[in-house]
Every structure is written in structure tokens, then in C-alpha cells.
């Protein structure tokens, strides 16, 4: 099977690609420099760790990187050989595989001083983090986030904020330095700035032709995931926004003749991002993704609410923590806002939390007259990906459109 990386259509995407390599090298140097390290789950409030001067290490991010380098199956098998079933989320298997075997693009991740897990996207995270913490004999802090219905209730927000404060105290006890409110605000202001720019780019993607597609956005979401609140993230995303704005000014799209505008639902298929270019070669542009724009990453922080409450919306009401009915309404709105002709619902074998409800979403979209396609694969375990079947189904779907 010929898996490929996505083409980078922007100079800043190339710069971000180079920065990612440097980022990982810095991570491996952090301990020598006397810094504290925390293994943290995706969609945890990264700003808190940055404010505490603790180096956040995201195994999920490293997983995507290892998968892009075609190491997914080998690393998942390391965990399977130790009793983890293939039914366990492959992010969990891959990371535990690196931890057990020491293998990975750069080997195993540097050992953390403690682990931090949030319960705002799935139940896998807490089991996975417990297994890692037990293996390493390191402390684990879990931030419990209740499932939100239509909106966050005041008592839910209060519960969340009380744990955020407790966590900051805990971080202070790890570093020996208190995290002041001023320091937290400084980081949150940068995060809010990042969110504003990320959203400006999202707004530009509503334009016809679409100036930037999933092929660039999936690679660049690293900044939103890993380092909201850092100056480098603000600088790089600002450069990308300027490039996108320039394209819009000249009415340039991702491809010369945009025939179909698609929405991508679910995580990226990290080992074969070139699939986006396969679509583009056929006149179809993946214009927007639920994953990068509606799960919480890049969300605007409303600092008028104060430092702690500003985090509530971003980290409590993302796409994976809300009711199905709310998701369906959101999907319909995205279709209208981004002038979507068809929706690609990637049923991800690993992420039940993301994939459950896709048949209901499909039915609701059909009622609205929007065709959609459900296809199965896995985000990092390429053993359950059938290139011929998926391309066949995509071709047929484009013919229907
Ligand atoms: S189950 Fe889904 S949300 Fe949870 S860790 Fe796996 S991919 Fe992420």
C-alpha cells in the first residue's frame, strides 16, 4: 500500500513542520535542563502547565507523528504482546507500546514527573493514564469533567473551576513555585490571541474557493493542541493567517477548479494524510473538519469571565462532550456556513467516543438533502485500513455528488 503525506501548500506549513522537529528535540532535552515534565491527555488545559513552567508532553501528538512515519502497527503490536486487546483505542496501544519497548521515532517519550488526565473526551484516557502511571510508579492527577448536555450548567462549571485551582496548587508543589494569577493571565491572553487567529483562518475557509484545506490544517493543528499560550504558537499561526489572507485577496483556492466542498468528521488518518490530495486531484476540497475546529482546540477564551471561568467553555463543551442532538445541530450549521456539498464521516475503529452517533448524523444530514459517506478505518493502526476499498468508495461518492 502506498501511504503518503499531505502536500504542504503554504510556506508557513513547512516552517511549522520544521518547528515540530525542534519541539521534540527540546522535549528530550528538558530533563537535562532541570525542567519538570508532565504527560498530558489531548484537550487538557495545556495553559495551566505552561503557566506553571512544566513541560507538557502529549503522547497523542507523538502517536500521530509515529503513525505518519509508518510505525503505528509495530508499536501497537508491542502493547498487544503485553495483553492489550486490538479493541483498545490505538492511541493508547501505540503509546503504551513505545513506553514498554522504548521504540518510536525518537524512542520512548522522556519519563514524566507526573501525569495529568482530563475526562472531557472519552473514558479511555483515564484507564490508559492509570496504566501508564502504575507502570512508571508516578503520580496521576485526574481532572473530572462532567458530560455536558446542551450547555454547561453553573454547578458543573463550579466543579470544574475548583479542580483547576486545585491542579494549579499541585503544579506549584511539583515545581516549588506558586502559579500566580498574573502569570496565568499572561498565558491565557496568548492562548486567547491564538484562538482569535485560528478562528480568523476558520472564517476564511468559508470562502469559495476555499483557500486552505485539511491537507494543511491537520498538520498545523499541532500548535493548537500542544502549545496554546506560547508566543511561538501565536507567531506561527499569525504568519499562516497572513498567507491565507493573501490567497483570499487574490481569490485563489486550494485547487484551481473547486467542484465539491467536503466536511471531514473525526480524527485524521495520520499515516495517509495524502488522502486529502487524492480528493483534491478529483476536484473535491476538504473544507472544514469537526476535529480541528469544534472539539475545543483553538477555541476563543473569553477573558472577561476571569482566568478560571474563561477555560470552562473551551474545555467542557467540545464536540466530544456534548449531546448527540447538539452535535447534529452543529453539523447542520457547519454545512450551511461552509457551503458543504458532502460529508465524509470517518468511522474510527479506535475512537468510539467520536464515531458513535454517526449513523444518526448521516440520517439527519440526508433529511437536509446533504449526502454523506461513512467509511471505516483507524487513525494510527494502518492494519485495519483498506486503500482500495476506501478509494473506491470515495470515487463513487464523488460521482454521486
Ligand atoms: S478513544 Fe478517542 S478520544 Fe479517547 S484517546 Fe482514543 S482517540 Fe482519543
Shortest-distance Cα residue to atom 7 of ligand 1: 351
What spacing in Å lies between the alpha carbon of 125 and ligand 1's midpoint?
Answer: 7
CA torsion sign, 125 to 171 to 321 to 63? negative
pLDDT at 267 > cutoff 90: yes
Residue-wise DSSP of 244-261: HHHHHHTT--SSSS--EE
Residues in the chain: 401
Residues 272 and 4: beta-carbon distance below 8 Å? yes
What spacing in Å lies between the alpha carbon of 42 and ligand 1's midpoint?
Answer: 9
**Which residue ranges form the domains of the chain, and what is each CATH number?**
11-166 (3.40.50.11890)
pLDDT at 181 > cutoff 90: yes
Strands (E), 71-147: 114-118, 140-143
Residues 386 and 272: beta-carbon distance below 8 Å? no
Q: pLDDT tens for residues 185-212? A: 999 999 999 999 999 999 999 999 999 9
CA distance 383 to 94: 13
Does ligand 1 have an atom closer than 6 angstroms to the CB of 89?
A: yes
Mean pLDDT of the chain: 96
What spacing in Å lies between the alpha carbon of 123 and ligand 1's midpoint?
Answer: 8
pLDDT at 6 > cutoff 90: no
Does ligand 1 have an atom closer than 6 angstroms to the CB of 121?
A: yes
Give, in degrees to the nearest 5, the angle at Cα 251 between 249 and 256: 145
Quick one: pLDDT band at residue 340, thresholds 50, 70, 90? very high
Residues 357 and 128: beta-carbon distance below 8 Å? no
Shortest-distance Cα residue to atom 1 of ligand 1: 351
Report the pLDDT averaged over residues 364-382.
Answer: 97
| CB proximity list for 36: less than 8 A, separation 6 or greater | 53, 54, 55, 113, 174, 175
CA distance 37 to 116: 10
Q: pLDDT tens for residues 280-305? A: 999 999 999 999 999 988 788 999 99
Q: How far apart are the first and last CA of the chain?
A: 27
Q: pLDDT tens for residues 58-71? A: 999 999 999 999 99
Contacts 24+ apart (CB under 8 A), 182-185: 183/51, 184/47, 184/48, 184/51, 184/307, 185/303, 185/307
Q: Report pLDDT for 354.
A: 95
**Cα 4–chain centre separation:** 20
Crossing angle for the helix pair 59-68 and 72-80, to the nearest 10 degrees: 120
Does ligand 1 have an atom closer than 6 angstroms to the CB of 198?
A: no
CA distance 281 to 172: 52
Give, in degrees to the nearest 5, the angle at Cα 263 between 297 and 41: 25
- Alpha-helical segments (H) within 265-323: 275-280, 290-293, 310-316
CA distance 185 to 207: 34
Q: pLDDT tens for residues 106-123? A: 999 999 999 999 999 999
Q: Which is nearest to 99 in space by CA: 124, 69, 62?
A: 62
SS3 at position 118:
strand
Does ligand 1 have an atom closer than 6 angstroms to the CB of 286?
A: no
pLDDT at 1 > cutoff 70: no
Q: Which is nearest to 190 in space by CA: 138, 219, 228, 238?
A: 228
Amino acid at each position: 500500500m502506498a501511504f503518503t503525506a499531505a502536500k504542504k501548500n503554504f510556506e508557513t506549513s513547512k516552517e511549522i513542520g520544521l518547528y515540530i522537529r525542534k519541539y521534540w528535540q527540546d522535549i528530550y532535552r528538558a530533563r537535562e535542563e532541570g525542567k519538570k515534565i508532565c504527560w498530558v491527555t489531548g484537550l487538557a488545559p495545556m495553559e495551566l502547565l505552561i503557566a506553571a513552567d512544566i513541560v507538557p508532553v502529549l503522547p497523542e501528538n507523538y502517536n500521530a507523528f509515529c503513525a505518519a512515519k509508518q510505525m503505528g502497527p509495530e508499536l501497537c503490536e508491542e502493547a498487544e504482546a503485553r495483553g492489550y486487546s486490538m479493541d483498545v483505542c490505538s492511541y493508547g496501544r501505540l503509546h503504551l507500546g513505545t513506553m514498554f519497548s522504548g521504540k518510536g521515532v525518537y524512542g520512548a517519550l522522556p519519563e514524566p514527573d507526573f501525569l495529568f488526565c482530563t475526562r472531557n473526551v472519552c473514558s479511555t484516557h483515564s484507564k490508559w493514564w492509570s496504566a501508564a502511571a502504575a507502570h512508571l510508579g508516578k503520580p496521576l492527577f485526574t481532572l473530572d469533567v462532567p458530560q455536558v448536555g446542551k450547555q454547561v450548567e453553573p454547578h458543573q462549571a463550579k466543579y470544574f473551576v475548583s479542580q483547576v485551582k486545585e491542579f494549579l496548587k499541585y503544579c506549584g508543589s511539583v515545581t516549588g513555585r506558586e502559579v500566580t494569577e498574573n502569570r496565568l493571565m499572561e498565558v491565557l491572553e496568548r492562548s486567547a490571541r491564538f484562538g482569535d487567529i485560528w478562528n480568523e483562518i476558520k472564517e476564511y475557509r468559508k470562502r469559495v474557493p476555499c483557500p486552505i484545506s485539511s491537507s494543511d490544517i491537520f498538520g498545523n493543528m499541532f500548535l493548537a493542541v500542544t502549545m496554546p499560550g506560547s508566543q511561538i504558537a501565536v507567531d506561527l499561526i499569525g504568519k499562516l493567517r497572513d498567507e491565507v489572507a493573501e490567497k483570499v485577496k487574490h481569490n485563489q483556492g486550494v485547487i484551481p477548479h473547486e467542484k465539491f466542498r467536503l466536511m471531514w468528521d473525526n480524527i485524521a488518518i495520520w499515516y495517509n494524510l495524502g488522502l486529502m490530495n487524492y480528493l483534491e486531484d478529483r476536484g473535491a476540497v476538504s473544507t472544514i473538519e469537526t476535529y480541528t475546529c469544534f472539539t475545543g482546540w483553538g477555541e476563543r477564551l473569553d477573558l472577561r469571565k476571569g482566568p478560571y471561568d474563561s477555560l470552562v467553555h473551551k474545555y467542557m463543551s467540545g464536540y466530544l462532550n456534548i449531546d448527540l442532538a447538539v452535535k447534529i445541530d452543529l453539523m447542520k450549521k457547519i454545512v450551511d456556513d461552509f457551503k458543504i456539498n458532502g460529508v465524509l464521516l470517518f468511522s474510527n475503529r479506535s475512537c468510539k467516543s467520536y464515531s458513535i452517533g454517526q449513523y444518526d448524523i448521516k440520517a439527519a444530514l440526508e433529511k437536509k438533502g446533504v449526502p454523506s459517506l461513512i467509511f471505516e478505518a483507524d487513525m494510527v493502526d494502518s492494519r485495519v485500513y483498506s486503500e482500495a476499498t476506501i478509494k473506491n468508495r470515495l470515487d463513487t461518492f464523488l460521482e454521486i455528488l
